[in-house]
Amino acid sequence: MPLVIVSRKLAELEATSASHVMPKADPPADVVLRAVTSTRPRRRYTAGKIARQISLLCRLSPAEIFDKGLRKQLRLPV
């Protein structure tokens, strides 16, 4: 009987610790599901707030400035 209690507690601990370490993957999974089930799929999809912000910045800023900022952010030669 004590072994059953210990195994339950261990399972609860593993479940709670995994949720703190790994973020929720729902937004990317939702985007993939929408892309797969779409009758008219788009060429690109954005998943998440940062991806949408970068996409907007890419559309609004001149290509040279966007590329320079991206290279700086990725620590590539400018």
Q: Tell me the residue type at 13.
A: L
Q: For residues 48 and 27, is the Cβ–Cβ distance under 8 A?
A: yes
pLDDT in the model for residue 40 = 92
Q: Tell me the residue type at 26.
A: D
Report the predicted TM-score, pTM, of the whole model to 2 decimal places. Answer: 0.48
**With bands split at pLDDT 50, 70 and 90, how would you rate the model's confidence at 22?**
low
pLDDT in the model for residue 64 = 92
Q: Tell me the residue type at 10.
A: L
Q: Tell me the residue type at 51.
A: A
Distances, alpha carbon 9 to alpha carbons 1, 2, 15, in Å:
13, 11, 10
> How does pLDDT run across 30-78, given as a tens digit for each residue?
888 889 999 998 888 888 888 888 889 989 999 999 999 888 888 888 7
